[in-house]
Amino acid sequence: MPEPDIFYILGNRVRRELLSHLTCTECYFSFLSSKVNVSSTAVAKHLKIMEREGILKSYEREGPFIGPARKYYDIAISRTYVATITPNVFWYRGLELGEKPVEAISVDVSDIDVEEGDLLKLVGSFLRATSELEKLLDILQAVETIRDELMKNIKKRYLEEIGDMTQLAILHYLLLTRKATVEELSDRLNLKEREVLSKARELDRFVPLIIKDETIEIDEERIKQKNGGENNAGED
């Protein structure tokens, strides 16, 4: 299958929102329709476009109750995309995730002169800078592979131990953004603001949060304290 037109896919807000929900949990059509503020016809159109581009795959599965099978959607790729757009450079690359993490890599561009030298020296400097960029891409690929695996395991553990999908959706978004307003979460998750606050307070029992001035963020200091205090494990 050819490379998906990722810029075309991500250029639409509704498609970005659908992808955000699909990274949180497997979704059937009516659930996705309830999470975005467009018609079900528009949702079907966007899902069809992404499936055609190879971003999504669909399948049918019987539900827990008597009735027709539901159509589910899942993301079909695992890639990180990097792009540069300047007056002089338009370049992008898709990095396939899932490779073995790389060892420590040293990157040094401190002695690359961007102005001095004849044409061939400038070309040589550009090629050297590109070689350093390739090292950074290897690091990015490794880090994103690790983050993807960690997010998968966080979701699995949360559903097994807590089982609240709305709490998980808030945690998922905060892990990716670190900080969000109640209004932003309300809009993103299609919930009332009071529901967001209520669910965030419940989530705080399991993952420390800072909830202040209509803003919610993960409390990294409390997490570090809890992870470092082995003697106090289980007391909170």
Residues 226 and 213: their CA atoms lie apart, in Å, by: 25
Residue-wise pLDDT tens digits, 141-182: 999 999 999 999 999 999 999 999 999 999 999 999 999 999
200/73 Cα distance (integer angstroms): 27
DSSP states of 99-116: SPPP-------TT--SSS
> What pLDDT, on a 0 to 100 scale, did the predictor assign at position 234?
44
pLDDT in tens, 77-123: 999 999 999 999 999 999 999 876 778 889 999 999 998 889 999 99
Average pLDDT taken over every residue of the chain: 90
Q: State CA 101 to chain mean position distance.
A: 19
Amino acid identity, residue 143?
Answer: V
Quote the pLDDT of residue 235: 44
Q: Could you give the CA distance from residue 123 to residue 113 in angstroms, rounded to a whole number?
A: 11
Q: Tell me the two tokens of residue 21.
A: 């929900």
The H-assigned helical ranges of 87-228 are 119-161, 165-177, 182-189, 193-203, 220-228
What pLDDT, on a 0 to 100 scale, did the predictor assign at position 189? 87
Q: What is the residue whose two structure tokens read 């992808």?
A: 19
202-224 mean pLDDT:
96
Instruction: State mean pLDDT over 205-219.
Output: 96
Q: Is 56 exposed, middle or buried (0-12, 13-18, 19+ CB in 10 A)?
A: buried
At position 218, the amino acid (one-letter code) is I
Residue for token pair 């082995």: 230
CATH 1.10.10.10 in the chain is located at 6-75, 164-232
Nearest residue to 30 (alpha-carbon basis) of 61, 2, 72, 60? 72
- More confident of the two residues 105 and 131: 131
Amino acid 193: pLDDT: 96
CATH architecture of 164-232: Orthogonal Bundle (1.10)
Give the tokens for residue 223: 């997490």
The string of pLDDT tens digits covering residues 29-88 is 988 998 888 999 999 999 999 999 999 999 987 766 566 778 899 999 999 999 999 999
Structure tokens at 116: 């001095």
Give CATH for domain 6-75.
Answer: 1.10.10.10
pTM for this entry: 0.85
Residues 6+ apart with CB under 8 A from 91: 83, 84
Q: What pLDDT was estimated at residue 236?
A: 42
| Closest to 141 measured CA to CA, from 199, 79, 231, 194 | 79
